[in-house]
Structure 1
Amino acid sequence: MDPVLNPFAPGAGSPPPELAGRNEVREAVRICIERLRRARAAKSVLLIGLRGVGKTVLLEQMRRDAEASGAHTVHFEAPENRSLPALLAPQLRLALMRLNRVEAAKDFAVRGLRALAGFASKLKLAYKDIEVGLDYAPEPGLADNGDLEADLGAFLEQVGRAAQAANTVLVIFIDELQYVEEAQLAALISALHRCAQQRMPVTVVGAGLPQLRGRMGEAKSYAERLFEFAEIGPLAIADAKLAITVPANEEGVDVEPDAVDLIVTETQGYPYFLQEWGKCAWDVAAASPITANDVKGASSEVIAALDESFFRVRFDRLTPAEKKYLRAMAELGPGPHRSGDIAQQLGRRVESFGPLRSSLILKGMIWSPTHGDTAFTVPLFDGFMKRIMPGDAWRTAS
């Protein structure tokens, strides 16, 4: 069939043609925004899930939903090598500049920009990566103590007052939130707490790997009371089928039920993999309908594509010792696995792997569902590890 018309969209953050199965969490964010607009209490929302479940896509869709409702939004990803103040400062400046165009909010927006000047200039010593344009002189005593937790709270409150005067809500969308350092997470949580106490219309909608829930609790014990944690997992079978059939049908192409069932089985309902299998099955099929044989013929191409992109980009960041540890996990199956069982595969005491496990957690490769358990953050990664490190040679590799 014509590849130009292929509706499926595998790719990092690429929006799927059919965003199936996510209406409940979208509605939760809508309710949060509308409650804040009316000065009512509402929890910020965090999307928690493995790689490939569509958190980034969902975050962007919710940002578009928020903008359509009249909310003001900022959106950024938190990489491993940037500080939260450096990411927040330029984005909140843009939000304040937009609010400054609203007549009723001008004075509050200007004071917010003065708070930004104090915030950035004092914290520049501690966070040297802060780069932001300053439009007004700082106001002495406003967000300029040089203490991140106190200053971020004061700064975010001023942004909230500008949003309140403009009769809108500021929604801060943050992806990969698990990479933010604990002290900076604590400051963000504390600032949101201050806004909640003052009934300021400011909220965060974030996304991160499963370890984010625990990290939030470690940063501030009251984090559970400020956030709604939405578990984003593989799609239910019915929704996974819709993710395949609806886009194809809209292009006048049918997918036989056996073909749909096979795709759902192969992908285990993970949205990213659904897009890869859908794309390749379309390209392999000679004509409508797409059959189970087409899906079978596409599977080797899909696995090769995943190995070279989705899986390989993560594998290449690992040290030899980290690769060996993950290969030992793969030998045991998809997981989760007891840390002692993994250590036994490697012939060493479990205590000796503490630093290695910590490094893999920081890199976002593994997480601990319960005490003593270890699981991959990337679905189907066990199969990839067996393909890229076949046989038993990995056991004796240095």
Structure 2
Amino acid sequence: MTEMASNPFTPGSGLYPPYFAGRKREEDIFKKNIKQTIAGTPMHMSIIGDWASGKTSLLKKFKETAEGEKCFVCKIVSPNTDSIAVFVNTISKSIADEIKLKEGMPFFKRVKSKVDKLTGIQAFGFGASIQKEDNLTPQFDLRIGLRTVWNELKEDYKGIVLFIDDLDTITESKTKRKQIILTLRNALMESIDDGVKVMCVVTGANLFEQFEVAHGPLVRFFEPLILGNLNDNEARDAILIPLESSGIKFDPDVIKRIIETTQGQPYYIQEFCYHLFENAINDKVTTAVYDASYDSIMHDIAAKVWNQKTRQLGDTNSKILHIISTGRNTTSQIEKHAGGNFGISAGAVRTALSRMQRENKVKKNGRGVYIMEDALFREYLKTIF
């Protein structure tokens, strides 16, 4: 190859994948909900998926769709906080910043002047200095703030779409989590009565547990979309379509091995293809190139993702998952090995297994065997203790 072609694969870059594969169902549901919101019946959604399952890429696709429907779009990164007021302020400040960016300072000042005139409401991100009355709440602030913003935007936009990313990271406190999520839900429900055409899409890795802790109906209020891995055809498209104009060819056996090894996990596909593309010999990626690249790919994923993931899991959980990864995967086997090798009590093992089941980190089949579905992470865990 006389001149190195640009690598079309983008693992962990925050950019779109080179080909957006396998999310037509999710796109269709979002388009339907956007149209209902614009028609005056707001529909809210939750996108549920583990790390690197494509949540961020899907939000970017949704953003394109919403803007194509002439909606005002604002992305909010959920803060880590126990405070309802801080959570609401994060939403309001994000909206205010987006108005500055998209509409300019004159429009921003016009909205600010309307917010300033509302008795009792705090800044709602617009820098107002009005004192808050004791009987008013962040829920009221959010409701009135959304109504005020919508009344100013509705001449130019058909609706408002809020994307709240990583909602499951707000707080470890179940009580505070319940209050925060209910505040958001209640303000959005009240906004319907106010005629505000606002749609909210929240994302997280473990939102079902969060919602069930908060209130059962929340699962129905935020229509859940669970992101799974790509099927074989979708994964093949994610590999081949970006290569079409690159001049690089992947052997059929290499494509098959990528699909089997990654299990169709979008991030893993990007990571494998990026490295293999870089290591192509004479514009080709053969099984020999695949074999020679495998260890460096695993090392790169570990450095970017798995090392941090095990730290977040904590010592006890990581050791239990390590035991499961080595094939000791019944309760009695795990307890025996955890006690004998790591000094973890049987009670601590059962508590950890129960919690990790709820969080979908492990599953238990009908024979009482614990299973980790992520084969590559399982392979990594074998090596860390």
Distance of 2:187 and 2:375 partners within structure 1: 34
In structure 2, what residue type is equivalent to 1:175? D
Provide Cα deviations, 1:331-378, integer angstroms capped at 9, x if missing partner. Answer: 348xxx77776445424665435776799799x8947799x9987697
In structure 1, what residue type is equivalent to 2:144? A
Distance of 1:216 and 1:206 partners within structure 2: 11
Aligned to 1:206: 202
Moved more, 102-111 or 67-76: 102-111
Counting only pairs closer than 5 Å after superposition, residues 325-340 of structure 1 correspond to structure 2 as: 325-332=320-327
Q: Is the 8 A contact 2:81 2:170 kept in 1?
A: no
Distance of 1:101 and 1:148 partners within structure 2: 27
Runs of 5+ unmatched residues, structure 1: 122-131, 390-398
Aligned to 2:338: 346
Aligned to 1:88: 91
Give the alignment's TM-score, normalised by structure 2.
0.80
Counting only pairs closer than 5 Å after superposition, residues 159-170 of structure 1 correspond to structure 2 as: 159-170=149-160
Shift of 1:379: 6.5
In structure 1, what residue type is equivalent to 2:91? L
Distance of 1:220 and 1:266 partners within structure 2: 38
Aligned to 1:9: 10
Provide Cα deviations, 1:203-237, integer angstroms capped at 9, x if missing partner. Answer: 1122211x202312322332123222111111111
Counting only pairs closer than 5 Å after superposition, residues 230-241 of structure 1 correspond to structure 2 as: 230-241=225-236
In structure 2, what residue type is equivalent to 1:65? T
| Match among 292, 317, 332 for residue 287 of structure 2 | 292
Aligned to 1:251: 246
Shift of 1:271: 0.7
Moved more, 196-205 or 270-279: 196-205
In structure 1, what residue type is equivalent to 2:59? L
Structure 1 225/104 Cα, relative in aligned 2: closer, same or farther at 3 Å?
farther
Runs of 5+ unmatched residues, structure 2: 172-176
Residue aligned with 2:164, SS: strand
Distance of 2:318 and 2:132 partners within structure 1: 52
Shift of 1:12: 5.0
Residue aligned with 1:21, SS: coil
Q: Is the 8 A contact 2:323 2:337 kept in 1?
A: yes
Provide Cα deviations, 1:112-144, integer angstroms capped at 9, x if missing partner. Answer: 4656983359xxxxxxxxxx550x454876xx7
**Percent of paired sites with the same residue:** 21
Distance of 1:199 and 1:27 partners within structure 2: 25
Residue aligned with 2:285, SS: coil
Distance of 1:111 and 1:367 partners within structure 2: 51
Residue aligned with 1:174, SS: strand
Shift of 1:300: 1.8
Distance of 2:375 and 2:155 partners within structure 1: 45
Give the alignment's TM-score, normalised by structure 1.
0.78
Distance of 2:119 and 2:332 partners within structure 1: 49
Aligned to 1:395: none
Distance of 2:102 and 2:238 partners within structure 1: 38
Q: Is the 8 A contact 1:48 1:231 kept in 2?
A: yes
Structure 1 107/319 Cα, relative in aligned 2: closer, same or farther at 3 Å?
closer
Counting only pairs closer than 5 Å after superposition, residues 364-375 of structure 1 correspond to structure 2 as: 366=361
Distance of 2:255 and 2:122 partners within structure 1: 54
Aligned to 2:304: 309
Distance of 1:78 and 1:51 partners within structure 2: 16
Aligned to 2:174: none
Structure 1 31/107 Cα, relative in aligned 2: closer, same or farther at 3 Å?
farther
In structure 1, what residue type is equivalent to 2:204? G
Q: Is the 8 A contact 1:46 1:227 kept in 2?
A: yes
How many residues are treated as equivalent by the alignment? 370
- Is 1:36 the equivalent of 2:47? no
Aligned to 1:64: 64
Shift of 1:42: 3.8
